[in-house]
Amino acid sequence: MPTVLITGAGRGLGLEFVRQYAADGWTVIATARSPDRATELGTLAQAAGGRVKVHALDVADHAAIEALAARLAGVPIDLLINNSGTMGKESFAGQGMKAQRFGTSDYDEWAYQFRVNALGPMKMAEAFVEHVAASSQRKIVALSTVMASIGGNNLGGLYGYRSSKAALNAILKSMALDLARRAIIVAPLHPGWAATEMGGANAPVRPQHSVAGLRQVIAGLTKEKSGRFWQWDGKELPW
């Protein structure tokens, strides 16, 4: 069976990815910043009979990423899902469109968002590219957001989140071009406004529906679809 590596698997969409891929018989490498606190993930791993392997990882820690890649040397990874992300101290769930307004910028917090949302997936890809290249499916995806779409931005605000995810999209576009010669498919994915801790309880898309849709999109990714921006329901989004 294929193998998937999922970052930020301790809760939300990451946890749902683990649940669904494990249920389908995949080998799942699940990472979380604090696995000892990720009780649902631990329960899933115990129930999966060895198919779910949990590792501690903070994607803002590049040395930790390198160490995990070395620990997993020789393990083919069919699908790398860069799920970890942050909106920082002010989230859409907490403040809505009032978050990260013009004139209120916390630049240290902004830099941290870039380190997690943009640099983290880049470092993961560079560290695990040989693992992916050695697999059958050869796919690297990252969870982006429709808020990263410059063409679709008609509300403004959310400067840190929008810009860090737009940077992620630019990174993945270049990565798709650079890794095409190795037959590796790369794409940013918008999960919809999902009812997670980040999205808030009133969000219209349930995590299980979002992930089920994303899995269909991922399964349907081809070299022709690489380097393009996809929504969880299969719709292509503008840059």
Q: Which two tokens stand for residue 78?
A: 């069919």
**Surface-to-core class of residue 180, CB atoms within 10 Å of its CB (0-12 exposed, 13-18 middle, 19+ buried):** middle
pLDDT of residue 88: 76
Please report which confidence band the pLDDT of residue 112 belongs to, taking 50, 70 and 90 as the band edges.
very high
- DSSP annotation of 198 reads T
Whether residue 195 contacts residue 207, with contact meaning beta carbons closer than 8 Å, is answered with yes
Largest CA distance in the chain: 51
| CA–CA gap between residue 167 and residue 119 (Å, rounded) | 9
The answer, yes or no, to whether residue 178 has pLDDT greater than 60, is yes
**Surface-to-core class of residue 62, CB atoms within 10 Å of its CB (0-12 exposed, 13-18 middle, 19+ buried):** middle
Domain residue limits, the chain: 3-231
- The architecture in CATH of the region 3-231 reads 3-Layer(aba) Sandwich (3.40)
* Tens digit of each residue's pLDDT (9 = 90 or more) over 72-91: 999 999 999 999 999 877 55
Q: Which amino acid is residue 127, in one-letter code?
A: A
Q: Which two tokens stand for residue 192?
A: 């919809």
In 10-98, DSSP assigns E strands to 27-32, 52-56, 79-82
Please report which confidence band the pLDDT of residue 93 belongs to, taking 50, 70 and 90 as the band edges.
low
To which H or E segment does residue 152 belong? none
pLDDT of residue 91: 59
Return the residue matching tokens 């604090």. 34
Residue percentage of the chain with pLDDT more than 70: 91
Whether residue 186 contacts residue 179, with contact meaning beta carbons closer than 8 Å, is answered with yes
| Helical residues (DSSP H) of 78-206, grouped into ranges | 92-95, 107-114, 120-133, 159-179
| CA–CA gap between residue 131 and residue 135 (Å, rounded) | 7
pLDDT of residue 125: 98
